[in-house]
Amino acid sequence: MKQWSFYTAKEIRPQGWLLRQLEIQARGLSGHLHKVWPDIRDSAWIGGKREGWERVPYWLDGFIPLAFLLRDKEMIAVVKKNVDAILAAQQPDGWICPCPENKRSRYDTWAVQLISKTLTVYYECSGDSRIPQVLYRVLKNYYDLLSGGKIRLFRWAQSRWFETFIALDFLYDTYGEDWIKDLARILKQQGYDYRRAVEAWKKPRHVWLRKTHIVNIAMMLKSEAVSCGLLAEPYTDLAETLRTVLDRYNGTAFEGFTGDEVLSGIDPTRGTELCAVVEQMYSYERLFACTGDRKWAERLEVLAFNALPATLSEDMWTHQYVQMVNQIACKRTMLMAPFSTNGPRAHLFGLEPNFGCCTANFSQGWPKFALSAFMHRDDTILNAVMLPCELRDNGILIRLETDYPFRNTTRYTVDADRAFTLEVRIPSFAENLKIDGVPAPAENARFAIAPGHTEISISFDVSPAFAARPNGLSAVRMGSLLFSVPVEYDKKMYEYVRRGVERKYPYCDYEFLPKTPWNYAFAAPALTVERSGSGEIPFSQASPPVTVTAQMQRIPWGLKFPYRSVCRKTPKSGAPVGPEQTVTLIPYGCAKLRMTEMPQLYR
């Protein structure tokens, strides 16, 4: 199986709405976390006394590609300062984590796996010549400790063993030594086999278990794709087999899974953790590169255009720990939380509204998605996701101008000093595809590019339609975009200090309190589209880039007992309590409060 290779931040330059989104991220929490959050600013990774496990590697995993994609000198200097501090603390035997030697056997080496992956990302972005040897020493030490029985995989390292393969693949390509394959086999042997967990996924118990933990599962989906090469095992599309079970019993309208810490069943008022969203995106990026199967790229788009922006505030200074598909309020509950194992603040927008893992980890979502726009293999360059950007590849310049997914037109301007093949992934839902104005079949388009200047235009239509959801509910989809009834809201701000962590504007906590109706049902099948294009804030609730209008009626939906800010899983009744009215639906990613899955009264 011949894989596609990713380009790096040196070769891809975001443009258009994608550049604006990355700039918002840099101006928000991602770009300032090292200044305001003690777990980064004062981390043991860089000589401080705070957390010395996953949070700095998590943050750098997203901050590094963000800095290099934006070519921001100040951010790149921050990257180098932090990486230099980490490298300076590496021990003579190769150990790199902030843990004394006499405690290594009790240290969860998930941190070893994660920092190895993060340093690989750094090398791809920076070309820092120190990194290959640093990684060699880190992982050779890991191999020596594991093969000698001095440590074993347990807890998170056992659940996430496959994450090590991002660095292992790079290391084997660089050095080609047999111990790397031996380490790969040890990791799989000591790691958890998620095929054993399938029955537990079918009937969520709402008990905290690693085998049903949503982030572990989101990471796991890529496990076969990233490990089968070094393990010399056949690729069986295990991800599809497992994803099918997950979707059937825990699926959401945005093609993720419910997981308010652990898998939570089919219920649009259950939460989905932000860490799971960005990790599922990364899994799909790797799955597509491994297989070239466009189903993974399309699923990636759905997550990126819906679930990711929905759970981040528009200025990206705050985020939710969990989002809900039907989310009528983000308000603290006075009784037990409405989630499986999360607390009553988990769906507030804030600095670290439940646990700090998402605070550290969410930064990877947009930058790694941007790096998935173009891939290459032999003499073929593939436009995997239609994102506005430029690609510069040794004498080849491709400019991709588009407002996709808000408008379905793309324009490619190519200047090349050599011949190559340009392939464009066409979404399976494309209708009336035209290339340079000429009708074409809705399949991947291939162009033989000659040296010189070439221009190509691609356009297609996408129709809105109802997608059936469980429990007799429906959602509106148009291509990769999911649509919701937006609920207008007031924001209530909370500034405070807890456990030495200050929440202060703009990175404080916010409740979003509804002030417009939400209890709707679809009253007629007609759906009408209006497009205005993306603005300065691409996913803006006040100025959405595209809308769908529908005929709707209010119904007695009701609240989930005993909560006053969570709607029922399904409505109390479908009997209308008001006349038909025209309601404007907006992209799910634009609506912070929303109703997405609703009944159809006319069926």
Of 274, 352, 332, the C-alpha closest to 511 is 332
Q: Measuring CA to CA, how many Å separate 103 from each of 5, 99, 156, 463, 539?
A: 39, 7, 17, 59, 46
Examine residue 402 and state whether it is found in any structural domain, yes or no: no
Provide block-wise average pLDDT over 10 residues at a time, the chain (603 residues).
Answer: 92 98 98 97 96 97 98 98 98 97 96 98 98 98 98 98 98 97 98 97 92 98 97 97 98 97 96 98 98 97 98 98 98 86 94 96 98 98 98 97 98 98 97 97 94 98 97 97 98 95 96 98 97 96 98 97 94 94 98 98 81
CA distance 87 to 220: 28
Supply the pLDDT for residue 205. 86
| Residue ending a domain, choose from 145, 167, 191 | 191
Supply the pLDDT for residue 442. 83
DSSP string, 74-112: HHHHHHHHHHHHHHHT--TTS--SS--GGGGGGS-THHH
H or E segment at 245?
A: helix 238-250
Supply the pLDDT for residue 1. 64
Examine residue 307 and state whether it is found in any structural domain, yes or no: no
Q: At what angle do helices 55-70 and 16-27 cross, to 10 degrees?
A: 130
Considering its fold, how many domains does the chain have in total?
A: 2
Positive or negative torsion for Cα 44, 46, 47, 49:
negative
Domain of residue 102: give its range. Answer: 37-191
Of 197, 350, 204, the C-alpha closest to 270 is 204
Q: 40-59: b or e for each residue (b if 16 or more CB lie within 10 Å)?
A: beebbbbebebbbbbbbbbb
CA distance 527 to 478: 10
Examine residue 355 and state whether it is found in any structural domain, yes or no: no
Cα angle for residues 359, 362, 364 (degrees, 5° grid): 140
| Residue ending a domain, choose from 156, 191, 226 | 191
Examine residue 43 and state whether it is found in any structural domain, yes or no: yes
One-letter amino acid for residue 350 of the chain: G
Examine residue 586 and state whether it is found in any structural domain, yes or no: yes
Examine residue 510 and state whether it is found in any structural domain, yes or no: yes
Examine residue 391 and state whether it is found in any structural domain, yes or no: no
| Residue ending a domain, choose from 160, 191, 222 | 191
CA distance 234 to 225: 10
Examine residue 265 and state whether it is found in any structural domain, yes or no: no
Three-state DSSP state, 6: strand
CA distance 84 to 159: 29
Rounded to the nearest 5°, which phi and psi values hold at 310?
A: -65, -30
